Amino acid sequence: MNVGPQGYAWWYVDALSDDGTHGLTIIAFIGSVFSPYYWARGRRDPLDHVALNVAVYRPGGNRWAMTERGRGGLQRDADALTIGPSAMHWDGDALVVDFTEVCAPIPRKLRGTARITPDCLNTQAFPLDLAGRHVWQPVAPRARIEVTLSEPALNWSGTAYVDTNTGTEPLEAGFADWQWSRAHLKADTAVFYEGVRRDRSTFALALRFDEQGRAETVEMPRPAPLPRTGWRVNRSSRADDGIAQVVRTWEDSPFYARSTVAARLFGEDTMAVHESLSLDSFRHPLVKAMLPFRMPRRS
The per-residue pLDDT for range 209-239, each reduced to its tens digit, is 999 999 999 999 999 999 999 999 999 999 9
The C-alpha angle 82, 88, 91, rounded to 5 degrees, equals 125
What is the structure's pLDDT at 25? 98
Q: What pLDDT, in 10s, does the model give residues 231-286? A: 999 999 999 999 999 999 999 999 999 999 999 999 999 999 999 999 999 999 99
Domain limits, the chain: 8-298
What is the structure's pLDDT at 116? 98
Does 1 have pLDDT greater than 90? no
What is the structure's pLDDT at 160? 98
Q: What pLDDT, in 10s, does the model give residues 31-57? A: 999 999 999 999 999 999 999 999 999
Task: Compute CA 238 distance to the chain's CA centroid, rounded to the nearest angstrom.
Answer: 19
Q: What pLDDT, in 10s, does the model give residues 146-191? A: 999 999 999 999 999 999 999 999 999 999 999 999 999 999 999 9
> Distance between CA atoms of 11 and 138, rounded to whole angstroms?
10
DSSP letters along 133-190, please?
-EEEEEEEEEEEEEEEEEETEEEEEEEEEEEEEEESS-HHHHEEEEEEEEEE-SS-EE
* Cα dihedral 75, 81, 86, 91 sign: negative
Contact 165, 12 (CB under 8 A): yes
Measuring CA to CA, which residue among 247, 173, 241 is closest to residue 21? 247
> Distance between CA atoms of 189 and 119, rounded to whole angstroms?
11
Q: At 60, is the pLDDT very low, low, confident or very high (cuts 50, 70, 90)?
A: confident
What is the structure's pLDDT at 277? 98
What pTM was computed for the model? 0.97
Whether omega for the bond prior to residue 36 falls within 30 degrees of 0, making it cis, is no
Query: What are the residues facing 102 on neighbouring strands?
Result: 109
Q: At 59, is the pLDDT very low, low, confident or very high (cuts 50, 70, 90)?
A: very high
Does 299 have pLDDT greater than 80? no
Q: Which CATH superfamily is 8-298 part of? A: AttH-like domain (2.40.370.10)
Q: Strands 74-76 and 80-83, how do they pair?
A: antiparallel
Q: At 196, is the pLDDT very low, low, confident or very high (cuts 50, 70, 90)?
A: very high
